[in-house]
Amino acid sequence: MNATCTVRIVDISQDGCGVAKPDADKVLFVTGALPGQVVRVAIDQHKERYAKAHVLEVLEEEGLEDPLCSSPLCGGCPLQRLPYAAQCHYKENILRQALLRLGHLDANHIDAILAPMTKSPATRHFRNKIEFAFGFEEKRWRLGFRAAKQHTVIEPDHCLLMPEPVATLRAFVADWVNQDPTPAPFWRHLIVRIGQSLQGERSYWLILITRKAKAAQTRQIAHLAQTLFATFPDIRGFIHEERSSNDLWAFGEHRRQSFIPSHTEFTLPLGGKCFALDPMSFFQVNLGAAERLLEQARALFVPFASASSLLDLYAGVGAPGLLLAHPTQRIVSVEAHKASVAFAAKNAQSFGFTHYEAHAGTSETVLPRILDALPKDCVAIVDPPRAGIDPASLALLRKRAFPGLLLISCNPQTLARDLAQLTTSYTVTAIQPVDLFPHTAHLESIALLVPNQERLV
Has residue 76 been placed in a domain? no
The CATH number of the domain where 59 resides is what? 2.40.50.140
**Residue 455 pLDDT greater than 70, yes or no:** no
Q: What is the pLDDT of residue 75?
A: 76
Chain centroid, CA 98 distance in Å? 18
Q: What is the pLDDT of residue 72?
A: 67
Q: What is the pLDDT of residue 158?
A: 79
Among candidate residues 382, 384, 385, the one with its CA nearest the CA of residue 426: 382
Among candidate residues 195, 197, 199, the one with its CA nearest the CA of residue 166: 195
Q: Are 265 and 291 in a shared domain?
A: no
Segments forming the whole domain that contains residue 176: 129-269
Span 202-238, pLDDT tens digits = 999 999 999 999 999 999 999 999 999 999 999 999 9
Q: To the nearest whole number, what is the mean pLDDT of the chain?
A: 94
Residue pair 307/377 in contact (Cβ under 8 Å)? The answer is yes
Residue pair 299/405 in contact (Cβ under 8 Å)? The answer is no
Among candidate residues 46, 99, 148, the one with its CA nearest the CA of residue 431: 99
The CATH number of the domain where 162 resides is what? 2.40.50.1070
Q: What is the DSSP letter of 117?
A: P
Q: Which amino acids are annotated catalytic?
A: 410, 444
Of the pLDDT bands very low, low, confident and very high (cuts 50, 70, 90), residue 76 is: confident
Q: Are 46 and 143 in a shared domain?
A: no
Q: Are 329 and 366 in a shared domain?
A: yes
Q: Are 210 and 185 in a shared domain?
A: yes
How many independent structural domains does the chain possess?
3
Q: Is the pTM of the predicted complex or chain greater than 0.85? A: yes
Q: Are 229 and 348 in a shared domain?
A: no
